[in-house]
Amino acid sequence: MTVMIYPNRLTPKGWRVQDKVLRENRYFPISKHGSLEVAKKKAEQFEATLIKRRYFREMRLNLDVNKIFRPDGTVIGLSVIIKKTKEGTIAILKAQITVEGKQISTNRRLNNKVFQEQFVSITNWILEKKCITPTSEIKSMLKESMPLYKKAHSFVEKKIPKQNFACKTLSFPIDI
């Protein structure tokens, strides 16, 4: 984030403040503010407000809750996927997270298992690996996010072809 003269030093028309993190780009033209010095003061005041916003943004991102959840309420790094194995096609709850710069992952099979137990198991694994204590706020947000994954699980289940486990009866000629 910097205060820059624009378009160039030879023919200045004003000042520009650009912050790529906050996605701010504001111009302070001479025509609006009267002189280059007044425009620069306004640009520097705006830059000071951006510095404060960046500080609060950094504080907010460092909260444990924001390390786990996306803004839409889903858990970061958690998804429901379909996997083909020797036994057939199965639904899996997969967690892939970054810890200390390294990617780690685990998964839980959902076939013939209680979804809630698998969800709690994998979210506890995420909390443990990220060294986050499960506060009451985090637990309630996890409960609120569970139906999103359960809905995804039911959608995935519909895509898995039903396997026919019925036994075929064989007829043998009986010689008496």
Q: Is 103 part of a structural domain of the chain?
A: yes
Indicate whether 128 and 42 sit together in one domain. no
Element (H, E) at 159: helix 136-159
Alpha carbon dihedral 130, 121, 157, 114, in 10-degree steps, equals -170
pLDDT given at position 162: 60
152 and 89, same structural domain?
yes
pLDDT at residue 163, rounded to an integer: 53
Total domain count, the chain: 2
Ranges of H-type helices in 62-114: 64-68
In a domain, 164, yes or no: no
Confirm whether 47 is domain-assigned. yes
168 in a domain, yes or no? no
Tell me the backbone φ, ψ of residue 73, rounded to 5 degrees.
100, -5
Q: How many CB atoms lie within 10 A of CB 123?
A: 23
pLDDT of residue 118: 93
139 with 86, same domain?
A: yes
Q: What is the pLDDT of residue 84?
A: 85
- Which bin fits 138, alpha (ψ -120 to 50), beta or left (φ > 0)? alpha
Predicted local confidence at residue 161, as pLDDT? 65
* pLDDT tens-digit map of 1-32: 789 999 998 999 999 999 999 999 999 999 99
Please give the Cα distance from 94 to 135 (Å, whole number): 23
- Whether 70 and 107 share a structural domain: yes
Last residue of a domain, one of 61, 84, 109: 61
pLDDT at 170: 37
Split the chain (176 residues) into runs of 10 and give each run's mean pLDDT.
88 94 94 94 96 90 83 90 84 92 93 88 94 90 90 74 45 38
- Does 172 fall in a domain? no
State which residues form the domain around 41: 2-61
pLDDT at 27: 96
9 and 95 together in one domain: no
- In a domain, residue 93? The reply is yes
